[in-house]
Amino acid sequence: MNRRKFIALLGGGAVAWPLAARAQQERTRRIGVLMTSADSDPEAQTWTAAFKEGLQSPDVIFAGATPALVALQRETRSLPIVFAQVSDPVKLGLVASLAQPGGNITGFAIFEHAIAGKWLELLKDTAPGRTRMAVLFDPNNPASAPYVQAVEAGAPSFGVQLTLTEVRSRDEIERAINAFAQQPNGALIVVPNILTILHRDLIIALAARHGLPAVYPYRFFASSGGFISYGVDLADQYRQAATYVDRILKGAKPGDLPVQLANKFELVVNLKTAKALGLTIPEPFLQGANEVIE
């Protein structure tokens, strides 16, 4: 893949940067990185710093998040690609299997789409009176549809009415949440994708303004004022991805390195936000959380 094609993959909010590293033979090796996040985002800076930190003697492309990996797969089936922050890569057709990915792609998956049912459960455990839930997702992200399907599958057992809310821009996010909040007893499920990450402050502010309990996929949503988050430690994933880059540059084939699923999940509750919403969180629930923000 030439440099022009690589840069052409970038869309709004994406960042790519070249990384040079010295191998044991003192030959400079080049690593391309494609991430679907703004380089000014402090969370993205944390992830890339973790990737660099884990890099030892690392020619390979690193893909951060599903849209970046899908774009890269279309461009090359030969250049090694290591990914992180990708959900269910087998279901999306990005690798043949977790144990034997085959081809030129391997990496670290954040979680399977079934976790969306857990997000639904967490909302019902903490806000049982809420009977309407909006699922906020970007239809342009290929990973979104399976999350939505998982929520739809679980909704009948919890007795909730779903509103599937497609958003593709900041303005659409604002209009969608404002419209949903016109009726009472609502709550939000925010599906992970670059759009919701980029505009997390807006989503959190609108949820607070309208009194909507919301569950988010990553810790930094809760630490920024969101109600509850449940997901993986992304910095840890990026750090681990660097070890695969190192192994590939030392001769390993990506198709022989198993895709690893996240095994560390974090439940974070923002108690200050809960109180502002007028919600009392059961003590057993708080005791089971990894972190309670007061």
Q: Provide the CB-side half-sphere exposure for 142 (13 A, CA).
A: 16
Report pLDDT for 227. 98
Domain boundaries, the chain: 3-111+233-264, 115-232+266-293
What's domain 3-111+233-264's superfamily in CATH?
A: Response regulator (3.40.50.2300)
- Amino acid identity of residue 44, one-letter, is A
- Topology given in CATH for the domain delimited by 115-232+266-293: Rossmann fold (3.40.50)
Report pLDDT for 26. 53
End-to-end CA distance of the chain: 49
SS3 content of the chain, % helix, strand, coil (to 5): 40, 25, 35
Report pLDDT for 15. 47
| 222 token code pair | 């809760």
Report pLDDT for 275. 97
Strand partners, 17: 33
Report pLDDT for 54. 57
pTM recorded for the entire structure: 0.79
Strand partners, 216: 229
Report pLDDT for 30. 65
The domains spanning 3-111+233-264 and 115-232+266-293 adopt the same CATH topology? yes
| 122 token code pair | 């967490």
Q: What are phi and psi of 191, to 5 degrees?
A: -75, 140
Report pLDDT for 256. 97
Q: Per residue of the chain (294 residues), what is the pLDDT tens digit?
A: 554 444 344 433 444 445 554 444 456 666 666 666 666 777 777 767 766 665 547 478 888 888 889 888 988 888 899 999 998 899 889 999 999 999 999 999 987 788 999 999 999 999 999 999 999 999 998 889 999 999 999 999 999 999 999 999 999 999 999 999 999 999 999 999 889 999 999 999 999 999 999 999 999 999 999 999 999 988 889 889 999 999 998 999 999 999 999 888 899 999 999 999 999 999 999 999 999 999
Report pLDDT for 51. 65
